[in-house]
A and B are shown apart, each in its own frame.
Chain A
């Protein structure tokens, strides 16, 4: 335990064995998902994991097929459209929510105005409104507004989350010094210019983290589209995959292929913004 201890010891080996064991538990379902995505309905039933047989690495590669992926994008299921819908819905929601929350969070932390206390109180109170309570009344209200079966009805309620305002408020307090804002004001920059040019770059880790949070939230939003959208061609991946599960109940290969297509864009986005995400998560969200 002191600095002189050699790095390879019994506890060191045990720690790594444990980490590897947990890694296997985490990875096996993911591998299973990928492998199953390349199996036919029959192939899924015949081989639990990889189809062993004659071929390179002892695997019968001829048993694996991209037929299921092809079926997904054909007119039979038309997952291409759902993919576009999901990307559009998630990207729009993420950008609007990040902009709206950053604007409000920054204002409540860095600007002085009458009613500031009341606003802060409102944001804190809003954090404890439980989402399940709003499910049924929101449906009725969107019906009254004529927003059912429209993307507007799905996006607008999702772009003003109070916790976003709270996160950006904390991030501003932490990383945007008031003296810099004051200097910019003396230089004659307008308030919106100061926000856009000075504050927003300083909030970059939180912007990255919040883009991911809101993008993922809409990508994985199931209850929202299930309630608001009615037309089949408007549905995002989450609902289409669920419907595929109901319609092609026993074709697990197809189902896994659809799941694979659904998670690849998100995984790519996350790897791209990962550094910001971890930084944002540990700077603003967890202030112990």
Chain B
């Protein structure tokens, strides 16, 4: 080996290692002492020990933020991923016309970008003039003439006044995330469906298994590794929800914290109130939550393998 080949690997790794050390590892190590400090601007601080953590546990707003974040995460996984899988299964059928166009179309909300989706959703979910309430009111008018159901429907002005952004923040956030991410996750499922062995499917068909039976016996086991991966990514992403809520909702959180999320609360404490210590402590609690999610996935994964 020449001198050149010996030094080369280290030179190749150097830019990454240096930047990673300076801009990720240093802040990571600083997050330990910072969580035990009360800061006065970015320069001055006093040590307060574990006070920031005990404060979080006694802070009702922290618990609200945690609850909202878990509601959002549950909604994302239980609604969005089945929709994504269903779209992939439908697109993966034989004889579908315009498959490429549908795939690109379903993926396209992703191109708008999180910040801009949030602005668009903010406008669409407005009371009175927003598109969502207008469509709901229009739909209600169409069936108002029907017996029984017609009588139960709220009045047009009530429907136009549905306060999505103010008090129904969580449903509004879940619907927006569904619109934005279902097509994105569909791409993962579509890729996974390419790996389903054709022979197995055909064998099941010959044995007379119906479509539902085939789905649970053949398709689902074959895509399980990818499905678990997508669930984990979705959970991790949802726990960190911030821009969507912060930009969409009035004051970044809706009325009475109806849409306050953990990262929003971290951001507000750190950069609106200026309490970097409390923000970092919340950051550690979010990290703990993420580890619980990752460990749960590991355990589930392992127990399944043993079967």
Contacts and interface: CB of A to CB of B under 8 A. Distances in A.
A103 B12 contact: yes
Interface residues on A, range: 35 or more
Interface in B208-266: 223, 225-226, 229, 240, 242-243, 246-247, 262-263, 266
B270 A136 contact: yes
A139 B223 contact: no
B54 interface: no
Contacts of A144: 42
Interface stretch (B13-21, B74-82, B150-158, B165-173): B13-21
Nearest to A227: B271
B179 to A, nearest CB: 7
B188 interface: yes
A100 B16 contact: yes
Interface stretch (B55-63, B90-98, B141-149): B90-98
A4 to B, nearest CB: 12
Nearest to A216: B113
B269 to A, nearest CB: 9
Contact of A262 (B95, B113, B242): B113
B140 interface: no
Interface in A81-115: 100-101, 103-104, 106-108, 111-113
A140 B4 CA distance: 40
A191 B242 contact: no
B28 interface: yes
Those 10 A-B pairs whose CB atoms lie nearest each other, nearest first: A191-B8, A107-B12, A160-B19, A113-B9, A157-B23, A104-B16, A133-B283, A220-B113, A282-B191, A137-B27
A209 to B, nearest CB: 12
A29 B124 contact: yes
Interface in A223-245: 223, 226-227, 238, 241-242, 245
Given A134-B24, A245-B119, 11 more contacts: A22-B106, A26-B108, A103-B15, A104-B13, A107-B12, A130-B287, A136-B277, A191-B5, A223-B242, A223-B267, A241-B119
- The secondary-structure label for the interface of chain A is helix
Given A140-B276, A191-B5, A119 B13 contact: yes
B290 interface: yes
B122 to A, nearest CB: 7
A267 B111 contact: yes
B51 to A, nearest CB: 16
Nearest to A1: B205
A185 B95 CA distance: 49
- The secondary-structure label for the interface of chain B is helix
Contacts of B205: 1
Nearest to A241: B119
A266 B229 contact: no
A122 to B, nearest CB: 8
Interface of A: 1, 7, 12, 15-16, 18-19, 22-23, 25-30, 32-33, 36, 44-45, 48-49, 100-101, 103-104, 106-108, 111-113, 116, 119, 126, 128-141, 143-144, 156-157, 159-160, 162, 165, 185, 190-192, 195, 216, 219-220, 222-223, 226-227, 238, 241-242, 245, 252, 255-256, 258-259, 262-263, 266-267, 270, 274, 278, 281-282, 286, 288
A238 B240 CA distance: 18
A137 to B, nearest CB: 4
Interface in B5-47: 5-6, 8-13, 15-17, 19-20, 22-24, 26-28, 30-31, 34, 39, 42-43
B200 interface: no
B192 A288 contact: yes
A136 B8 contact: no
A134 B31 contact: yes
A113 B13 CA distance: 11
